[in-house]
Amino acid sequence: MRTLLLSLAILAFSPRAHAETPGDKVIKQMDESMTRAKDQHFIHRVVTQEPGKAQRTLVMDVRIKGDEWRRIDFTDPGDIKGMKILILSLDQTYVYLPAFRKVRRVAGHAKEQGFMGTTFSHDEMSIVTYGPTFSGKLLSEDKNSWKVEAIRRPGKSFRHKRLVFTIRKDYKQPSEVKYYNEKNELMKTETRTDYTCSGNVCQPKVLKLVDHTRNGAWSKIICDKWEVNTGVADSFFTVRALQRER
């Protein structure tokens, strides 16, 4: 019995159990770079273009704190103004619907719905750090970038099984993300450009997501305002705060 326990303990603490591949290390660096700020505040303009149709725009006020907390307040157009989304983790999401004046818990299945008619899914909008959900495999490397394949970890919930990142070495953040489905078909391509920095915190000013399953429809998130380390309180990321008028 003691031998069995000892073997289990050795297995648990063996380097293999915690093996961090070069790809994992790159993802970890990327996560660290993207969450280096204590908190961030964005005003995002999301423009969606479907082939042959008029562009549609929505505006949202986004705050991120820590590795997972994210709150999105929609400010335009009028039919979604006042709607708020609170993401405490990929499995704990709330939405405040002003027409009903109540907060509703959103279950995991709702991630199947698109995000407000844009090409983004809830998962793509919600995820802040990738390491907890994906394991990495370094595919290639040159002097400017890494190419990393990210495979969804067993038991983790995310719309796409496989992502392929092209990660810039200067900012340690992606310039491109390709999203693949269970059949390994390319579903979406995301590009992140016009990086700007505030101290050692950097982020892209423009993020464009092309959905190959919708005839190349795309949505572009344009950052109109960006603040770092605003000191937003934890209480801002609570169900109660969603019900406050401001």
Partner 1 sequence: MLRRLPLLLPMIVLLSASVAQAQIDLRWGGRVQSDIRFRTAAVGLGGYYARTELPAGVARNENIFKLKLDAGYDRFTAVAELDFVFYGYSQQLEGIGDLSLREKVDPYRIEGQALYIEAVDLFVNGLDVRIGQQQVFWGKGDQFNPTNTINSNDIEDPLLFGEQVANMMVKVDYTPGTTWTFTGVLVPIFKPALLPDSAFIGLSAADRLPMVDSALRWRLHTEKAFTESVLGFPTVVQTAIPDLPERTAANMQWAFRVAGTLWDQDIALSYYYGRTDTPQAYLNVTRLKNDPRCDPNDATRCIRGMLETETRLGYPRMQVIGLNMAGQVNLLGWLSSKIKPIGYRVEAGLFLPQAATISLLQEEMDFGLYTQPAGEYVYHFDVSGSGRFPRPLVVDDTPFAKWVVGLDYTFNKYVYTNLQWVHGFPDEFGAGDFITEGWAVRSGGTGDLSLAAPCLFDPNPQKCLATAGEKVAVETLRPRLGDYLVLGVDIRLLSQKMLVRLFGILDLIGIYEERWDEVAGERVREHLGMFTSRGFSAVIYPEVQYNFGNGFELGAGALVMLGDTDSKFGDPATGGSQVFTRARFTW
Q: How far is the CB of 233 from partner 1 (least distance, A)?
A: 8
Closest approach of Cβ 22 to partner 1, in Å?
A: 27
The three-state secondary structure class of 133 is: coil
Instruction: For residues 50 and 202, give the distance between their C-alpha atoms in angstroms, rounded to a whole number.
Output: 30
Name the minimum Å distance from CB 53 to partner 1. 8
Q: Are 228 and 197 in contact (CB under 8 A)?
A: no
Interface positions with partner 1 (CB under 8 A): 50, 54, 56-57, 77-79, 81-82, 91-92, 100-102, 104-114, 116-117, 157, 182, 214, 217, 233-235, 237-240, 243-246
Residue closer to partner 1 (CB basis): 113 or 144: 113
Q: How far is the CB of 38 from partner 1 (least distance, A)?
A: 16
**Nearest to partner 1 of 20, 104 (CB atom):** 104
The Cα–Cα gap between 229 and 65 comes to 9
Q: In the complex, what is the shortest distance from the CB of residue 77 to partner 1, in angstroms, rounded to a whole number?
A: 4
Phi/psi region, residue 216 (left: phi>0; alpha: psi -120 to 50; beta: rest), is left
Residue 7 vs 92, nearer CB to partner 1: 92
Of how many residues is the chain composed?
246
Please list the alpha-helical segments (H only) found in the chain: 2-13, 22-34, 122-126, 239-243
Pick the closer one to partner 1 by CB: 111 or 168.
Answer: 111
Using CA atoms, how far apart are residues 94 and 167, in angstroms rounded to an integer? Answer: 31
CB nearer to partner 1: pick between 15 and 155: 155
CB 126 within 8 A of CB 90: yes
